Amino acid sequence: MKPYILYIIISLIAVNSLSAQDYVKEKTATATPQLKKTPKKKELIDRLTFGGNFGAAFGDVTFIEISPTVGYHVTDDFILGTGFTYSYLKDKRYSPTYQTNIFGGRLFAQHIILENFVAHAEYELLNMDIFINNFSNEIVRDNIHSLFIGGGYRGSMGGNSFVSLLILYNINESEFSPYQNPQIRAGFGIGL
């Protein structure tokens, strides 16, 4: 699984560096020299975006999720980030009622392909209770690894702030995965 993550991150960085090359025309001897304006170097805080997503559902299945994230703009169109996830799940359809607290973290990379469209890759590790034997209701706490690839729409709200709608596929889906493919994720980010 680790080679997939490394391959995705290297691919995103390579695509980003290829598209970021500037071509400068050579000056002729008769050209008038012009002053070059040096772009102001962005401070660390100017490159950070804070955000995430949250959700809730109530009924026979109660689900509450809070997933804050922080992203770093490596360039204007390439973001690396990390996040934390906490979820509470209670399913009354089982006897006895299944209830668990899910904790985890994620690392992600996002590349803005067009003005409002992004490619997204993410590795997530969740720790949760899982049934290992449905007949005896035997439950163990285990780690679940997910590798998401996808993309979606990202609308700017000014500066580094945005709203997003992503469609992601877990290419490492297992029988214990808490997600179904595709996963549709709505989120936001606020730049300082």
Predicted TM-score (pTM) of this structure: 0.68
Determine the Cα angle at 164 with ends 13 and 41, to 5°. Answer: 50
Top-confidence residue, 46 or 8: 46
Taking only the tens place, the pLDDT of each residue in 24-40 is: 444 444 555 555 555 56
**Closest by CA position to 126, among listed 72, 60, 179:** 179
Q: Is the pLDDT of residue 123 over 90?
A: yes
- Mean of per-residue pLDDT scores for the chain: 78
pLDDT average, residue stretch 96-108: 90
Cα 159 to Cα 45, 65, 83: the distances in Å are 12, 27, 21
Q: Is the pLDDT of residue 81 over 60?
A: yes
User: Sorting pLDDT into bands at 50, 70 and 90, what band is 10?
Assistant: very low
